[in-house]
Structure formats: C-alpha cells, structure tokens
Amino acid sequence: MTPPDLSRRRVLFAAGAAGTAAVLTSSTGTASSLRGRGSAALVVHNARVLTGERHARPQEAIAVGRNGTVLATGPSAVIRRLSGPGTDVVDASGATVMSGIVDAHAHPIGAGTRSLKPSLDHEQFTVEQLLETLRGFLAESASGEPDGWLSAVDWNPVGLLPAGTVPHHRILDELPTRRPVALLGGDGHTAWVNRRGLELAGITAETPDPPGGEIVRDPDGSPTGLLKDDAIHPVTRLIPEAEGEELHAAVAKALSHAAAQGVTAFLDAGVTEFELDVYAALAGSDRMIQRVATALRLSPEEVSDPKEALRWVREMRGTHGGTPKLHFGTAKVFLDGVIEHPTRTAALLDPYLDRDGRPTGDRGDLYATAAEFAALARLFDRHGWQLHTHAIGDRAVRVALDGYESARRAGGSRGNRGSGGNRHTIAHLQLVHPDDYPRFARLGVVACMQLQWAMRDVWTMEALLPYIGDERHRRLYPARSLARNGAVLAGGSDWPVDPLGVWNQIRTAVDREGESARQGALHPELQGLGRAAALRMHTAGSAYQLGMERRIGKLTPGAAADLIVLDRDVTRVPVREISDTRVRLTLVGGEAVYDEDSTAGKAVRAEVDAAATAAVSLAASARPSSLERTHGGGGGAGQGVGSGRHSACGGGCAPGGGRGVVSG
C-alpha cells in the first residue's frame, strides 16, 4: 500500500554514531521560542489517532506540548486551536497514530553484542557443512591464532544432520586449529565447545554440574562438550567481548532498529552491572533513545540467599539509579528451562512422554525450590521490589504463583503499584494448568507472553507434540484463557532469540500463525486474541507491568508523547497485513528517534528490511522432516542435543547469565 504523506514535517536528526537522536522543532523557530500558555510544540491532524483507552473512538488529531507530553486529542478543528506561532503542524493525510510499543521482555544489549560475532543463523548443517562454515570463520579471524577463542552465535542445537548426529567435542576437534571453539546456541541455553575449550574452562569428568546447569557426559563421565544453562558460564566468562565504542555503537545501532519498528520502551529482562555500565555510557552520549526498565538478574545462589540478593539489587540501584531513562525496581529469576525435546528442562506437573506417548519419569527441572522462591518473593515484596520470573512449564508457573501468594499473605508492599502491591510477573507461560488461570487476576500477577512463538512449526509440533500429548498441546501459550480469567497481559519479544518483528508478533497473537509458520495456525479458535487485545498487551499492558502506565502505553492528556505514525490502520487491515506494517515516525517524549524520510532513517529502514527478509527466508527454508527424524531418537534431557528456539532466552541467557550471552 502507498504510505500517507506527512506534509510540513520538520525533523532534524542530530549527528552521532547512533544517527537517530533528534528533536522536533518548529518550522518558524526552536521549541524554546514558543509563546502562549497552552500552545503546542506539535499538532498532528487529519490522522486516525488510537488513544489506547478501552472502547474509545479514534480521534482526528493530537497535540504535543513543549515538555514532551500529550496536551490533547480530539477533532482536528479543536486540536489545531492549540497551535501557536512556533507550532509544527503536520497533516498526516489519514495516517494512523498510536502509542509506541512497550516491549515487556527483551535483551537489547544482547542484540548488540551478538551482532559483532559470526553467526550460524540458526541453520541446519551436516557435520561437513558445519565444519566448512567454521573453517571459513577461522580464516576470517586468522589473527586469533593460536590461542584466541572462536565464538559463533545462533547455533541451532536441534539442527545437526544427518538424523541422530549428536554434538560432541570430537567433531569440533577436527578443525585445523588449536584455538578454543564455542558455538553458542540461539536458544541461549546451550553451548558446544571443543576439547581445548573444555580444558581452558577447567571442565573435566570430576567437575560437578553447577546449580541450574548440566554438563552432558559420555558413559564414562567425560564431558562431551555440550553444556546447558549455568554450565555454560565457565566457558563464556573466558570469551573476550567487545568493549568501549565498538560495543556502544553496536548496541546503539540495535536500539535504532527497535525504534524503526516502533519500540519506545523496554524491560531489559536480565541485567547485571555490565549492562548497567553500557546503558550509562549510551545515556552519556545521548544514544539511549528508549526508556529502559531493568530486571536485575539473580543467580541460583542469590535466589537461595534472599538477603544477599536484596543487598545486591539495592547496590545496583544506588550506583546506577541516576542514569537518564533507566528505571529500577525489578529482579529477574529463572525457575525452569525449556520444554522442547530432547532438552526437556521446563518443570511440568505431569511427566513428559516418550516418543510412543508413554509417560516417563521425567518432569523437568526446577532451578529453585518452592520454599526458596517463596522466601525470596516475601522479602522482595516487603521491600517494594517486584519479581520477573521465567517459567515455561506448568509446575514452574505454579511455584511462582504460590510464591507470590505467600508474599501477598505476608502483607507485602504497601505501595500502589498493583492490586497486591508490586506487579510481580511471570514470563513466557508456554504451559499453564487451567486451575491456575484465575490466580493471575486474583493475585495481581502480570502474564508476560511472547506470542510470536504461538504458531505451528517444528518447535511446537515435531519437537513438542509427541512429548506432551494433545491435551496439553492444545493449551500452549494460553493467552485467551488467561485474559478471560482477568489477567493483565503484557507483550515481550525476547529479542534477540528471534529477530525483532514487532508487527508479526502482534499479528501472531491474533491468528496464531504469523508470517513464517509452515504448518498452519496453532489453535486460534482456543487461544487467539482479538486485535484490540493484542495491541493493548504490547502497549498499555506492558506499561502496566513496568509500573509506568500513567506515563506511557496510552495517548492521553499528561502522558508522555511516546507515539508512532504507521503506514496503515492496524485495527482495520486484514490480519495477515499487520505483519507488513511500517513505522514512519517514532517519538519518545516528543523527540523524534526515528524518521523514515530522514537520511539516517532511510539507512536504518534498509537494514531492518534486509534483516526481516532474511528471517522470513530462513523460516521458509526450514526442513521439518529432517528435524522430525532428529527428534525421533528417544532419549531425554542430557542424552541428545539442546533445546529449541522457544527457549525464551535472550541477552545474558541461562540463570545467572554471563555478560554477552543471551538470556530468557
């Protein structure tokens, strides 16, 4: 479709490595020259303004004040009266204006760091194809000889062919190098290293599995080179990461790509002091263009020692609380792993099934006991901190809800951040027992979901359906059931586990198919949302989770002017066309952080389009029959390769995470 013309737009992009920091100025002077009480810095009229209020009719115009907040919405004739001699007046030619997207679970710094490493692009490989690719990486980084790490990202843990081929250090040892080699799984829960890497990390047959992790072993106890969750960190902490301007520029570029898709705020769902330092550097150079709420990541040891965990999060807030646009008040906890075969570390109430549908003795793993989590929840709630908890399986979800209920019964926070005080959250929610649906609303717990995963593909079908059975499979990602039981839904991307695709994410929440599904829709008649609910969970719902609903998520008077201009009306176009939505302009606090028509904006748009095309092409070229054969070999966690794309892990990944790794 032809995008509407935005006439008389004056958007000046400031210089800098990010190339996106900008301010709207008047066509007749600077914002500081405006005079007259109530006059606007910007008026957009002849638009279709979606305010985000429930059941509200679209408005024709919006006025933005000089302080970066919404002055008013309403009929064009009325709103234009707020213009003064220095007001920039924009005729939107019918374009849609709505709140910016609030991403309630992402890892932006992980997106930046991953962009600096060679990528295996989640592809499937035969052993020889993989070795050929890695030989190319070695040649491109020959300066790393003889001892520098070769670290490649986006390895597909279930994509090694021919069928039944198991990752082992012996395969990587065939490479013509003595360098340590590590392939980091795109799921963020797995790594595959060669013998040299194991030696440098000190991982031997005598090394015990760490809390929250597993060293996969041969029958004699020797490590195979496949590492899961917290067992990854002895390796990743040895791998040098980008620093200084190289790192900061990469993260700034990632943020600009997010702005081009309309993202105006994030929850960074797994932050350590490393990430806080990066954000401080970006803020100091005017390259932190979105608002960022932080979820400070707790290790399994800290979860079992709540007082030490509380001391640490307070210390981080004390040392970094002055960073502009950075918000504190949340801690991140992992309760389980992932559900796909053969890893099967998500904690389930009923056992996983074998390939023939028979129950096994395996119910997955809990990374904290129910008592430990409840004690942590009570202490953090009492001191005004909310928890953001990774829970994939229904047993982990129940443990989280039980812990939050324990905190509520203990009295908890006296704040006004939710019906029970703090807005505790459970993220991912791939499987929830129906008995627990109403508990979210009753306890004031937010359901943070990544619904781009709610489609039929190899991960939800071949890698999962046989191992959980049809009844549980029909309840995957139960968005509608939770909403009908009163839960507040929030939308997160878990970027960069998947390439960021905001509008396909919203579309998939509705049709449960999305643009890359190969096998049809995933029970939309049971769990699909209406498009109003899908939009709300990615704006007002996420803002509520972050405790920022009075400032962002809606375009109401007094709210921050975090808004986007779209090339189509996402409330009216066919659902399939939502995936193709283009953002033309993104404002944060009234300042333009992306303008499609600017020189910088055109460059960013080209990069975003190229990445989207590559992602769709990769999905279309998947070979589910090969994956099905690979999955069909029986065995459980620890006997085969790693987990699937839906590990829900994105920028420092496994519990306790390490810098530069991606977490969930």
Same domain, residue pair 363 and 445:
yes
Indicate if 545 and 440 belong to the same structural domain: yes
**Type of residue at 148:** G
Tell me the three state secondary structure of residue 305: coil
Spatial distance between the Cα atoms of 325 and 320, rounded to a whole number of angstroms: 11
Are residues 223 and 262 both part of a single domain? no
CB 278 within 8 A of CB 271: no
Q: What is the CA radius of gyration of the chain?
A: 24
Side-chain-side CA neighbours of residue 131 (13 Å) = 16
Tokens at 262, concatenated: 């309309």
CA 144 to chain centre: 32
Q: Which backbone phi and psi does 122 adopt, to 5 degrees?
A: 60, 15
The reported pLDDT for the residue numbered 564 is: 98
Q: In 211-326, which residue ranges form alpha helices assigned H by DSSP?
A: 233-236, 244-260, 273-284, 300-303, 306-320
Other C-beta atoms within 10 Å of 422: how many?
A: 27
Which of residues 236, 256, 271 is at a domain's end?
236
Is 115:67 a contact under the CB 8 Å cutoff? no
CB neighbour class for 349 (10 Å; exposed up to 12, middle 13-18, buried from 19): middle
Say if residue 493 is in the same domain as residue 550. yes
E runs forming strands in 563-602: 563-566, 583-588, 591-595
Residue 16 within a domain: no
Q: Are strands 263-271 and 291-297 parallel, antiparallel or unpaired?
A: parallel
- Here the CATH number for the domain that contains residue 134 is 3.10.310.70
Is 86 a member of any domain?
A: no
The pairing of beta strand 591-595 with beta strand 583-588? antiparallel
Q: Which DSSP letter does residue 373 get?
A: H
Give the domain-ending residue among 201, 236, 271.
236
What parts of the chain have a pLDDT lower than 70? 1-38, 163-164, 412-421, 614-663
The number of distinct structural domains making up the chain is 2
Q: Note the pLDDT tens digit of each residue in 395-404.
A: 999 999 999 9
Helix axes of 370-382 and 394-409: crossing angle, nearest 10 degrees: 40
Answer yes or no: do 232 and 249 share one domain: no
**Residues 209 and 278 both lie in one domain:** no
Tell me whether residue 19 is in a domain. Answer: no
End position of a domain, from candidates 217, 236, 255: 236
In a domain, 258, yes or no: yes
Nearest-angstrom CA–CA distance, 271 and 328? 11
370 found inside a domain: yes
Report the pLDDT value the prediction gives residue 616, as an integer from 0 to 100. Answer: 61
**Which pLDDT does position 95 carry in this prediction?**
97
How many angstroms separate the CA atoms of 440 and 393, rounded? Answer: 16
- Looking at the DSSP assignment, which residues form a beta bridge with residue 42? 64, 88
What pLDDT is stored for residue 498 in this prediction? Answer: 82
Same domain, 396 and 502: yes
Does 491 lie in the same domain as 366? yes
The answer on 216 and 262 residing in a single domain is no
Contacts of 19 (CB under 8 A, 6+ apart): 13, 256, 600, 603, 604
Indicate if 408 and 544 belong to the same structural domain.
yes
In a domain, residue 28? The reply is no
Looking at residue 427, its pLDDT comes to 99
660 within a domain of the structure (yes/no):
no
> 323 with 392, same domain?
yes
Structural domain boundaries, residue 203: 117-236
Do 224 and 280 have their domain in common? no
DSSP 36-96: STT--SEEEESSEEE---TTPPPBSEEEE-TTSBEEEEE-HHHHGGG--TT-EEEE-TT-E
As a whole number of angstroms, the distance between CA 340 and CA 185 comes to 14
Which pLDDT value is given to residue 415? 44
What is the reported pLDDT for 329? 97
In a domain, 553, yes or no: yes
Which CATH number fits the domain that encloses residue 596? 3.20.20.140
